[in-house]
Amino acid sequence: MAAPYQAPVSTLPKPAVPKWSPPAPTSEDLDWAKLRSIDLSLLDSQDPAVVSDLIQTTKRAIKEDGFLYLTNYGVSLDQVRRQFDLAQYLHNNISEEDKQRLLWDPSTGLYAGFKRRLGWKREAGEFDGIEQFNFYRDEFADQDRLPECIRPFMDEITVFCEYLTNSVNRRLLTLLSRVLELPDDYLWANVQSHGGPVGDGYFRHALFYPLDEQTQQKREAVRMYGHTDYGITTLLFSVPVTALQIFCKDKKWRFVKYNPGALVVNLGEALEIISGGHFKATLHKVADTPTDQQNLQRLSLVLFNASRGDLRLRPVVESPLLQREGMVLEQGVFREFKKLIDAGAPVPTNKEWREVQISMRNQVGPKERFKDTIIVRVGRGNEAVDFTVHEHKLRASSPFFEAALSKDWKEARERLIKLPEDDPEDFDMYKFLMYGGRNYEELMNGRGPQHVVHAYAFGEKVQARSFQNNLMKVLLASIHRLFGTLMEGEDLESAIMHLRWMVDIFYTRLPPMAPGRMLTADLVIVLFHREPTLINDDAWTVEFMKDVAASSIVFGAKTALVRLNREAGYFVRSWDK
């Protein structure tokens, strides 16, 4: 049997906290969502039929509604109400100074701290009448990050959140793991983030103030726009002020009815994706309250459970359910996600997934969130390969792409850049380095130095200096290794090969005086110094020999060697860190 929640026994005196008095529920006859109720205590039942029934009901609820009521989860109505007392106390007593000091900054990818009634950014936006205080791991760990008024009560809030995470959510994840026919602890051990009372998730004290008529009209009856939560599970305490609406299967918005003491649970996008679309992250919003509740404040307590940040979102193909039934493409989030990933979009980590949503565009679907991506089609006809990359990264990587994506170009409108003359291998390296790849083996991926030379010339075309510099370091490193063994036998042959590739490609594809050409000339001077007979080789072009002559007049072989060693030595140390 799961142990029930027990509030800690405080030894220190605490200020008296006025009771939160639950407003009267609406008496209006509204279009209610018919949500299933899951009695969590039944998970402990000795009767296998009861447990199996529970799992079947859960399965239906999460497949069809994505929302459910959770009852008998181990916290009594009085214990829940005490937390509402504390949330009300926080909102009534937080000082102006603390509101300023603890003002949130969603551009960091976290909602931590205090939200004013002025929109979803740190900077003041439109009035929305919603205040919140959001407790993340760091708020629990450091008193300075908390409003002074709530500090004496953190023992209770902490133990409460620990119970919600480690007992309620863990049992809920057991149920969900069983639906996926995976071991009981699968989601808890592999997907749930750990550490502190809320892992990477957060606990929210939200207060919705009533809106004046003018704001109400402006917001067209919506307090919080339709969205899906990005995490794994969201635990909302059912509140008497009706406002939460969910988008039902028949495409109608319906209200969630007050169910005293119950948790309203919904699943987030991470779980929809992990479950291959078997679980549903349901669209929901906070709408205006019914007329008989219009002047009421709506206090709402929520625990958002987050997945481990380092995981990359992908369906758990280990699940027998997925193996048997395949993926479900009915669910919008997963469908869009799959489409984008199949098209080659980079798979985000869970941390990126949630931070992008919080910092860039609040409350938008995955399509919108991926909007920054663009396709680069490299090569011709059957040989062409499509690469999906982030527009802002591509723009920042080169003035060529920056221009191609500037406002009125066709490329920018179609979100497709065609490079028929170029080689997909080159762009593959380009993309790897553009995303900060620094592993030599991965970059080379079975390729030889001639590919690096070739890609360097591609860098010239798109004017990507940083790309070229990185490739030159790679070339120098491999030449350095060969020179290091004093160029005897095979190594000498190999060094000569490298330089021939560089000369061949750079003297056909780079313009006169390009740094790549000059560096090649330097390298060849060193080579000639070791092996003077090579000077008479007919294969060197006149144009190239002119640069060699110019370079050797200025620097001489010795200086060229010193420069080369310095450059290459630097590279060898800095790579692969």
Ligand X SMILES: O=C(O)CCC(=O)C(=O)O
Residues engaged in binding Fe ion (CB under 5 A): 229
Q: For the packed helices 424-434 and 465-484, what is the interaxial angle rounded to 10 degrees?
A: 100
Per CB under 6 A, 313 contacts ligand X: no
Residue count (the chain)? 577
Q: Which of ligand X, Fe ion, none binds 523 (CB below 5-8 Å, type-dependent)?
A: none
Q: Which of Fe ion, ligand X, none binds 286 (CB below 5-8 Å, type-dependent)?
A: ligand X
Binding mask 205-224 for ligand X (x = CB under 6 A): -x-----------------x
Note whether 61 and 265 are within 8 A (CB): no
Binding mask 146-175 for ligand X (x = CB under 6 A): ------------------------------
Measuring CA to CA, how many Å separate 513 from each of 218, 468, 506, 543, 547? 62, 15, 10, 11, 8
Binding mask 429-458 for ligand X (x = CB under 6 A): ------------------------------
DSSP 192: B
Per CB under 6 A, 229 contacts ligand X: yes
Q: Which of Fe ion, ligand X, none binds 308 (CB below 5-8 Å, type-dependent)?
A: none
- Nearer to ligand X among residue 257 and residue 517 (C-beta): 257
Q: Which of 284, 351, 451, 473 binds ligand X (CB under 6 A)?
A: 284
Note whether 231 and 305 are within 8 A (CB): yes
- Nearer to ligand X among residue 255 and residue 467 (C-beta): 255
Of residues 321, 285, 316, the one with CA closest to residue 178: 321
- E strand or H helix that includes residue 225: strand 222-227
Q: Which of ligand X, Fe ion, none binds 236 (CB below 5-8 Å, type-dependent)?
A: ligand X
Note whether 504 and 543 are within 8 A (CB): no
- Nearer to ligand X among residue 115 and residue 454 (C-beta): 115
Burial (CB count <10 Å: 0-12, 13-18, 19+), residue 150: buried
Measuring CA to CA, how many Å separate 389 from each of 42, 85, 331? 48, 49, 25
How far apart are CB 341 and ligand X at their closest, in Å? Answer: 25
Side chain identity, residue 166? N
Q: Which two three-digit tokens encode residue 383?
A: 């040989």
SS3 assignment, position 105: coil
Per CB under 6 A, 110 contacts ligand X: no
Q: Which of ligand X, Fe ion, none binds 300 (CB below 5-8 Å, type-dependent)?
A: ligand X
**Cβ-proximal residue to ligand X, closest one:** 300
- Nearer to Fe ion among residue 263 and residue 524 (C-beta): 263
Close Cβ partners of 292 (under 8 Å, ≥ 6 residues apart): 26, 27, 28
Q: Which two three-digit tokens encode residue 241?
A: 């002020």
Note whether 58 and 179 are within 8 A (CB): yes
Per CB under 6 A, 286 contacts ligand X: yes
- Nearer to ligand X among residue 254 and residue 481 (C-beta): 254
Per CB under 6 A, 128 contacts ligand X: no
- Nearer to Fe ion among residue 165 and residue 470 (C-beta): 165
Q: Which of Fe ion, ligand X, none binds 91 (CB below 5-8 Å, type-dependent)?
A: none
Per CB under 6 A, 299 contacts ligand X: no
Q: Residue 326 forms beta bridges with which residues?
A: none
Q: Which of Fe ion, ligand X, none binds 547 (CB below 5-8 Å, type-dependent)?
A: none
Q: List the Cα angle 401/404/409 in 5-degree steps.
A: 165
- Nearer to ligand X among residue 67 and residue 427 (C-beta): 67
Q: Which of ligand X, Fe ion, none binds 426 (CB below 5-8 Å, type-dependent)?
A: none
CA 114 to chain centre: 23
Judged by the rule CB under 6 A, the positions of this chain that interact with ligand X are 206, 224, 229, 236, 244, 284, 286, 300, 302
